[in-house]
Structure 1
Amino acid sequence: MALFSGHAAPGFTARTTLGRLCFHDWLAGAWGVLLTHPHDFHPGSIAALDRSVKVLSLPPLPHHDDVHPITPGLPCAWATVCDARDAAAIRALYSGAQFEDVPAAPVDEHVVFLIAPDMTIRATLSYPPGGNRDFGDVVRMLDLFGADRATPPTRMAAA
Structure 2
Amino acid sequence: MPGILLGDVFPDFQADTTAGTVRFHQFLGDSWGILFSHPRDFTPVCTTELACAASLSAEFAKRNVKMIALSIDSVADHLSWSKDIMACNTEKAGGPLPFPIIADDKRELATLLGMLDPDEMDKDGLPLTARCVFVVGPDKKLKLSILYPATTGRNFTEILRAIDSLQLTAQKKVATPVDWTPGEKVMVIPSLSEGEASQLFPAGITTKELPSGKKYMRYTQV
Given the two structures, how large is their TM-score scaled by the length of structure 1? 0.71
Q: Given the alignment of the two structures, is residue 50 of structure 1 paired with residue 60 of structure 2, yes or no?
A: yes
Which one is further off, 16-25 or 128-137? 128-137
Q: 1:96 to 1:135 in 2, by over 3 A?
A: closer
Note the aligned Cα RMSD (angstroms): 3.1
Amino acid at match of 1:124: S
Structure 1 contact 16–79 (Cα < 8 Å) conserved: yes
Q: CA deviation at 1:56?
A: 1.3
Gaps (5+ residues) in structure 2? 40-45, 74-83, 87-94, 121-128, 175-188, 192-222
Q: Determine which structure has more spread, i.e. the larger CA radius of gyration.
A: 2
Q: Given the alignment of the two structures, is residue 158 of structure 1 paired with residue 170 of structure 2, yes or no?
A: no
Gaps (5+ residues) in structure 1? 62-68, 98-103
Is the partner of 2:71 in helix, strand or coil?
Answer: coil
Structure 2 contact 71–101 (Cα < 8 Å) conserved: yes
Q: CA deviation at 1:113?
A: 0.5
TM alignment of 1:4-153, pairs within 5 A: 4-37=5-38, 39=46, 41=49, 43-44=51-52, 46-47=55-56, 49-51=59-61, 52-59=64-71, 70-71=85-86, 73=96, 78-82=99-103, 84-85=105-106, 88-95=107-114, 105-107=118-120, 109-130=130-151, 132-146=153-167, 152-153=170-171
Alpha-carbon separation, structure 2, partners of 1:37 and 1:7: 22
Higher helix share: 2
Give identity over the alignment, percent. 24
The number of aligned residues is: 140
Given the two structures, how large is their TM-score scaled by the length of structure 2? 0.53
**Cα offsets for 1:75-125 (capped at 9, x unmatched):** x6x11114523xx2111111178xxxxxx8334542100111101000101
Amino acid at match of 2:71: P
